[in-house]
Each structure stands twice: as structure tokens, then as C-alpha cells.
Structure 1
Amino acid sequence: MYLSFFCDTVTLFLRLLLVRYTCALPAHFPFSSYINIPNSSSEVDPKLDMYGIINVLYLKADKDMNGMISEPELADVYHGFDTNGDGHVTKSEFVTLWQSITHQNQEHAEAFFYLADLNDDNIIDSSDLNPLYNVFDTDGDGQVTAHEFAEKWVGIILEAPIAVLFERSDANKDNILTHNEFSKFFSSFDTNGDHRVTRSEFEHGWTSSGFGTSTEADTLFAALDTDHDGRITASHDLNSRFTALDVNHDHHLIILEAIKMAAYLPRPALQG
């Protein structure tokens, strides 16, 4: 039972971090006590699809089972991630717990951390909770419904590979992406040196580097191939997309600008 609590809660904290799933979890639930418990297929299914994850997380986040997720319920999840009790969640704390539950790679675990760290200070603390909650509370009534939760989580799942792309392109790790960094990162996929990146080159580079799946590579490629000619060039495609995302025209992107690229990705329809 506690393993289920642990697993469910970890995913929740993910960007709203997650008002995802708090399973009847008391504040300061000792997640670390259960990290080394092996996953049984009867207890945890690491292959849940997007819809299964959303459903499980919502049910676990709604601790009092009243059909709504409140801000205090989110706070309970936050306390669970703060394994050393110092008042904030570091990337290391988050990534360790997230990977132990989801079996996702480090790239994705870090991506979700960056999506939740709204002020880019490399920690998640109490000051992040209200803004994160408001991301899900779309009508501003102080509660998150199942529909609000599911709709926003679909968006967050789409944003994760974009966050991976941002972090890998940000060569000096200053949380600011320049056009040069963006272009240089893509040049690493140009295996034949013709100054163009094909879909197959991008997919191979993305998956072989452990950044994510071939499906993610294909959707990212489609969003960046602005003229739909099957090739990405720095002079045209990357420049066009970078300019469109740079809404304040300061010649660089922060992660909140970069994830707007999700608008160019196909959005799965919610089931049921």
C-alpha cells in the first residue's frame, strides 16, 4: 500500500508538480524509506499510457475524494519530495524520486523539474506552489477539477520533450538559450555535413543520445520543420521558429518561451 502511495505521489509533483496524485498521504510522508522497494507488476505498471497515468494521478492527488484537488493537497505532495526536510526540493531530490517511480530517463525527470521551477532558481519551494496550482486552476475558483487537471497534464506531457531540447541546447547552462546555441545543438545531428538535418538524422541522434523516444523526435521534428520539406536548416527553419518563440524580441529564449512550441505539436484528444 505504501509503495502505491509513494509511486502515485511522485508523479503528481511533476509540474504542478503536480497536482497529480497525493494518495491519502500525510504531510512529510517518508518517500525515501521506500525507494529501494522493487516494483511488482501487480502493484505498479511502469508502462501505463498517458491516459492511465493522468487518471491514477488525479485519484491519488484528491486525498479527500471530493472530486477536487485543493492547494493544501498539493502542499502535502511537495512536503513528500523534500526528503531532507530543509524546506525546498532540489533537482537531485526530485530526479531521484521521479526516476525510481516512473522509470523514465534522467533527461525527462530533469525536464519535469525545470517545468515546475517557474522562477529558474534551481529549487522548488513554497513560493512555487501557488503559481503552479494556478496553472491547473484555469477558472480561478481555488480548486482543480478532473477536467482541468487532465487538460493541463496533456499539455505538460507535450512540453516535456521541449524542455529536454531546451536544456540540451543550453550549452553554458545559464537557463537562457541563444540562437547560436540552438543552431549549434542541431548541427550535431547533421551526420553527413550537408548543413541540413533530415528526419532520420534527428530521430537517430535524439534516441541514441538518450534524450527520448522516436515518437517524441518525430513530433519535435515536425514542429521545427517550418516549411515541411523534410529537412531542418539553421538559416530558415530554426531562425523562423526561434524568432516566433522570442516574443519579447530580446534575442534569447527562456524555458517559458521555449515551451510555447507545444502549440505546434499535435495534441492528443482526451479519452472518455
Structure 2
Amino acid sequence: MGPSGALIVFVVCALCGGASAVDMSKVQPYNLTAAVMFLQEDLNQDGIMTIAEIDSVFDKYDTNGDGRESRHEYTTMICTADPDLFQLSHYLFDDYDVNGDHHLEQSDFEAWHAKIDATGDSNGSVNQDEFVNYWVKLFETIAGQAPVHGHAHEHGHCP
């Protein structure tokens, strides 16, 4: 590779932050992070994650109160809580946006709940094992992804 090729690689790496994958260090070990998430989101502490509990968790991201969360609302809330999770927040939004319409709504929450339940016994309830197993697999999948999500409005850092 000649000097100009090395310069191009350097510029590309500088633009990408030099990282080869989304930084997942804040959520490791994945199983412990997922277990803590379940305990925090199982609002009545009965060992079952209901759609109503998922709705309550997601409602906090609806900053304009219109009943749906945009990518911007969701990623901004995550960024405010922990800027190091900004890249991860885009991948999580995509997972929650089951119907792919770029907004999170009740239908997405119900479909997302069903996705988690389908990893276990598909009985309409999500228990801690199903929840943790789902998140561990999701985190492992995201860990291998490039840090820049690819959305034109996403620049790899908090807005």
C-alpha cells in the first residue's frame, strides 16, 4: 500500500473512531446486566414481565407525550443517562421497532414481548430466564456489529 492508501485508511479509521465493533463493555457480563434489567422492569416483582410493564418502561422515552417514541427521543434519553451507550441505543431501537416503521408504539411492544416469549415456552408470559436468554443473544449479536449504525442522521456520538 502506498502513502496515499495509508492516508485513506487513517482517515477512515479516524472517522469511525478507530473502533471495529460497538463498545459493549458497559453491559458485560451480559447475563448479569439482563438479570438486573429484568428485576428493574418487573415492576410488581412477580417474576413475570407483562406487556403493561414493558409499556411503563418505554413510556419514559416518549418525551413529547404523543404515545409513540421516535428514534431521536429514545436515543436522546439513553444518551442523557449514559453517553457511552449511544451506539448501542440505535441497535436496541431497531430491535424494539418490530414493525420497522421507525417509531415505537403499542404494537411494537406487544410484538417485542412475543419475540422474547418465543425464545422460551411461548405461553404468553415472559419469565426471567426467557428475558435473560433473549438479551444475552441480542447483546452477543450487537457486539459483532460496526459502531456506526448507518442511519444518515446518526454520527456516532450523542446529539
TM-score by length of 1: 0.42
- CA distance in structure 1 between the partners assigned to 2:59 and 2:73 by the alignment: 12
User: Counterpart of 1:80?
Assistant: 60
Q: Any idea what SS the aligned residue of 1:86 has?
A: coil
User: Counterpart of 2:130?
Assistant: 148
Q: Any idea what SS the aligned residue of 2:60 has?
A: helix
Residues 148 and 156, structure 2, Cα contact 8 Å, conserved in 1: no
Q: Any idea what SS the aligned residue of 2:46 has?
A: coil
User: Counterpart of 2:141?
Assistant: 159
User: Counterpart of 2:20?
Assistant: none
Indicate yes or no: 2:96 matched with 1:116. Answer: yes
- CA distance in structure 2 between the partners assigned to 1:63 and 1:119 by the alignment: 26
User: Counterpart of 2:71?
Assistant: 91
If asked which structure has higher relative contact order (CA below 8 Å, sep 6+), I would say: 2
- What is the count of residue pairs matched by the alignment? 128
- CA distance in structure 2 between the partners assigned to 1:114 and 1:65 by the alignment: 27
Query: Aligned ranges for residues 165-176 of structure 1 at < 5 Å?
Result: 167-168=149-150
Give the gaps of 5 or more residues in structure 2: 1-24
User: Counterpart of 2:83?
Assistant: 103
User: Counterpart of 2:22?
Assistant: none
- Per-residue deviation at 1:100? 2.4
- CA distance in structure 2 between the partners assigned to 1:73 and 1:143 by the alignment: 12
Residues 55 and 109, structure 2, Cα contact 8 Å, conserved in 1: yes
- CA distance in structure 2 between the partners assigned to 1:123 and 1:164 by the alignment: 23
- CA distance in structure 2 between the partners assigned to 1:166 and 1:48 by the alignment: 18
User: CA-to-partner distance for each residue in 1:167-219, whole Å, 9 max, x for gaps?
Assistant: 43x7xx6xxxxxxxxxxxxxxxxxxxxxxxxxxxxxxxxxxx969xxxxxxxx
Q: Which structure has the bigger radius of gyration? A: 1
Q: RMSD of aligned C-alpha atoms?
A: 2.7
Residues 117 and 123, structure 1, Cα contact 8 Å, conserved in 2: yes
- CA distance in structure 1 between the partners assigned to 2:98 and 2:67 by the alignment: 17
Which of 102-111 and 137-146 deviates more? 102-111
- Per-residue deviation at 1:109? 1.6
